[in-house]
Amino acid sequence: MRVSSRVWHRAPGAVPHVGPRRRGTVWLMVAAALMVPAGSAAAITRLQQSAARQAEVRVSLAELEIAAWRQNSLRSRAMLAKGMPAALARSRDEVDRAVDAIGADFERRDPGERHTRAVQDAFRAYDTAVDREFDLLTAGDLLAAERVAEYQADPTFRALLTTLDAASGHYARLERQSSGQARIGTVLILSLAACIITALVGQAHRIRGRALRRATHQATHDALTGLPNRVWLQDGLAAASGDATGAALVLIDLDRFKEVNDTLGHQYGDQLLIEVARRMRDTLRDGETVVRLGGDEFAVLLPGVTCADDVAAVATRLHEALREPFELGGLSLSVTGSIGAALYPQHGTTPDQLLQRADIAMYTAKARRTGYTIFDHSQDSTDPRRLTLAGDLRRGIDQGQLLLYYQPKVDARTGAVLGAEALVRWRHPEYGLIPPDDFIPLAEHTGLIGPLTRFVLAEALRQARAWRDAGHELGVAVNVSAHGLLDLALPVEIAALLEHCGVPARLLTVEITETAIMTDPERALRVVRELHTLGVRLSIDDFGTGYSSLAYLKNLPVQELKIDRSFVSGMTTSDRDAVIVRSTVDLGHNLGLRVVAEGVEDDATWRQLDAAGCDALQGYHISRPVAADEFGTWLAGWDRTAAAGPVTAA
């Protein structure tokens, strides 16, 4: 574990270099200084040195803030990666070394001063929390890392930014005060040689002004690309937030940029970043500013933009700009980007809020492979109740708080029960019965989706065995998320569960979505084929609502299509929905697949589906999802109803 209280040492190159052309001016100033009383000249020199020192301290503060934002960006990447792979560990070492150097230089400039100590204390508190978070991620304890991020790293980061802002304002005031006193003293003391001294002082101010402008530019611009940096963006966001016309913030993170660095080296990576920056800058219009936040992260500030459609248009332009390959050193490189956006004041009223929520939207776009997403409050996982649920979920799995409900599937023509879909619920000791939409996203975010999927599979297969022992040859269907579909160990685990429960593979149906397939088609196809080899049935769930997977459907060894409820529920009142349903049934049959319709809410829908040739039905008109002990009772009652005559799903 790293020691957070760093031993800061001086970074070289903090004082601007004085070139040969200015040496003559410097010697003239020395000669002029000899003309006045030594004590007065010394006082003026001290004031000028003090002003220069305050300016240098402000530059160090800006550099320290940039380092803090780099650490914060690294935290986001590590949390997204759910650990600390080698590349992130190397980045962490680089950031730590930069922090050491910048911190030592800052401490040297004004040791012991109150604001210096406050900045040091704030940074060490943040650094300690970050080290703790990184250590937990390295150890694979994602849940504990999230708690440290929420309750320690995030609050100390915000406190650090506030402290840096206060210190910068303090040193700016001191600089103005020292500069003013130096100017007044110079005029009074050198009044006997006003013409000469005025010229010399003017030249000195111009030299110092140019040095300060260079230092300010360096502090607010990225050295590699020349773009404004995160410090500039903070000021720009503050100005935009005060504009009554509103503003938008767009964050862009390059996808698979790490592969360029790892495969071709940092020289190619740096050149690619320069070209990406140039292309985005050329794409934007007047008033739109692109910023490099660090690494492969960029931002675009859009003052006066308040409409989501206008932001989407900018995102489209940026995607188009990145679409064309980049020619570097004889190589043609293609990159894409994940884009997230937030609007002022709808999604935040402060710079920190806009940055945080645009960042959440960007990582949502990256996780869902949608390319672009605008912030929605449902994406925010900082709600205290959601955090509590995330902490309780692991215990809920281990302590048997999760249970399965079963919704039957019946034959559309005869009404015979074919099986049931297993749907997980969580009986929380404090919050009661929690639906899956409230905790499955948390499971995916915290890395618990694997244990949750294994629990559902094991319970569903045990229930299928119990039905079989009772004389009911019923299949059971289990939904598998995109994360599960990309898990190469899933077929092996399912094979072991089938053998342990003594259930034939044909009685298990794994339901997957089009979106899950398109997340990584090659990897998904490998897992699907291995499941097919086991004899497990495969079903495309919610067909028609995700990405177009027709190109992959012909190559997937699936046996079933499920028509999404959004089409089924409207087919009796909408001719378009009815056409979609009939076309999907025909498509499935032409491919040799069974077709299941979910969301059957009334007898009229049932009869239309039967007339269209649909094979199986599922929905509230047949039965709501029921607990395992209630399913047997429902099954006995349904058998009596079905045996009495023509099916009229009562």
Q: Report the chain's terminal Cα–Cα distance, integer Å.
A: 65
pLDDT (tens digit per residue) in 454-495: 999 999 999 999 999 999 999 999 999 877 887 888 999 999
| pLDDT score recorded for residue 545 | 56
- Residue spans per domain, the chain: 20-220, 230-379, 400-639
Task: Take residue 104 and report the two structure tokens written for it.
Answer: 């030592």
What stretch of H or E contains 432? Answer: strand 432-434
| pLDDT score recorded for residue 201 | 56
Measured between alpha carbons, how far is residue 544 from residues 74, 329, 561, 632 in Å?
38, 43, 10, 33
Distant-in-sequence, close-in-space partners of 193: CB < 8 Å, separation ≥ 6: 32, 35
Residue 345 preceded by cis peptide, ω within 30: yes
Contact status, residue 380 vs residue 348, Cβ threshold 8 Å: no
pLDDT higher than threshold 70 for residue 561: yes
| pLDDT score recorded for residue 99 | 66
Tell me what the pLDDT averaged over the chain comes to: 77
pLDDT band at 335 (very low <50, low <70, confident <90, very high): confident
pLDDT higher than threshold 70 for residue 25: no
The C-alpha atoms of residue 440 and residue 479 are separated, in whole angstroms, by 11
pLDDT higher than threshold 60 for residue 571: yes
Lowest mean pLDDT among 189-198, 215-224, 259-268, 465-474: 189-198
Lowest mean pLDDT among 77-86, 138-147, 532-541, 617-626: 77-86
pLDDT higher than threshold 90 for residue 253: no
Contact status, residue 322 vs residue 337, Cβ threshold 8 Å: yes
Contact status, residue 49 vs residue 182, Cβ threshold 8 Å: no
Beta strand pairing status for 247-255 and 297-303? antiparallel
Q: Residue range 148-172: average pLDDT?
A: 76
Three-state secondary structure string covering 613-632: CCCEEECCCCCCCEEHHHHH
- State the angle between helix axes of 194-220 and 154-189 in degrees (0 to 180), rounded to the nearest 10: 170
Q: Residue range 576-601: average pLDDT?
A: 92
Identify the CATH homologous superfamily for domain 400-639: EAL domain (3.20.20.450)
Q: Residue range 131-149: average pLDDT?
A: 80
The C-alpha atoms of residue 411 and residue 289 are separated, in whole angstroms, by 59
Q: Considering only residues 249 and 30, tell me which one the structure prediction assigns the higher pLDDT.
A: 249
Contact status, residue 458 vs residue 497, Cβ threshold 8 Å: yes
| pLDDT score recorded for residue 155 | 81
| pLDDT score recorded for residue 416 | 93
- Most trustworthy range by pLDDT among 19-23, 195-199, 503-507, 641-645: 503-507
CB atoms within 10 A of CB 397: 17
pLDDT higher than threshold 70 for residue 38: no
Task: Take residue 462 and report the two structure tokens written for it.
Answer: 């045990």
Query: Considering only the top CATH level, what class is 20-220?
Result: mainly alpha
The C-alpha atoms of residue 73 and residue 264 are separated, in whole angstroms, by 23
Residue % of the chain over a pLDDT of 70:
70
Percent composition of the chain: helix, strand, coil (DSSP 3-state, to 5): 60, 15, 25
Quick check: pTM over 0.85? no
| pLDDT score recorded for residue 11 | 36
Gyration radius from the chain CA atoms: 33
| pLDDT score recorded for residue 8 | 42
The third-level CATH classification (topology) of the domain covering 230-379 is Alpha-Beta Plaits (3.30.70)
Lowest mean pLDDT among 34-43, 106-115, 347-356, 485-494: 34-43
pLDDT (tens digit per residue) in 175-185: 566 655 655 65
| pLDDT score recorded for residue 386 | 57
Residues 579, 585, 588, 591: is their CA dihedral positive or negative? negative
pLDDT higher than threshold 70 for residue 378: no
Q: Which residues of 592-628 are buried (b: 16+ CB within 10 A; e: fewer)?
A: ebbbbbbbbeeeebbebbbebebbbbbbebbbebbeb
Lowest mean pLDDT among 127-141, 151-165, 459-473: 151-165
pLDDT higher than threshold 80 for residue 608: yes
pLDDT higher than threshold 70 for residue 101: no
The C-alpha atoms of residue 318 and residue 464 are separated, in whole angstroms, by 51
Contact status, residue 479 vs residue 444, Cβ threshold 8 Å: no
- Which segments of 140-153 does DSSP mark as H helices, in order? 142-148
The one-letter code for the residue type at 462 is R
Contact status, residue 68 vs residue 98, Cβ threshold 8 Å: no
pLDDT (tens digit per residue) in 145-156: 777 877 788 788
Task: Take residue 127 and report the two structure tokens written for it.
Answer: 């650094």
Residue % of the chain over a pLDDT of 90:
25
CB atoms within 10 A of CB 16: 18
pLDDT higher than threshold 70 for residue 95: no
Measured between alpha carbons, how far is residue 641 from residues 27, 287, 419, 472, 648 in Å?
108, 70, 17, 17, 8
Beta strand pairing status for 508-513 and 537-543? parallel
| pLDDT score recorded for residue 405 | 95
pLDDT band at 164 (very low <50, low <70, confident <90, very high): confident
The C-alpha atoms of residue 604 and residue 648 are separated, in whole angstroms, by 10
CB atoms within 10 A of CB 257: 20
The C-alpha atoms of residue 605 and residue 616 are separated, in whole angstroms, by 12
CB atoms within 10 A of CB 71: 25
Beta strand pairing status for 560-563 and 537-543? parallel
| Residue 193 DSSP code | G
| pLDDT score recorded for residue 337 | 85
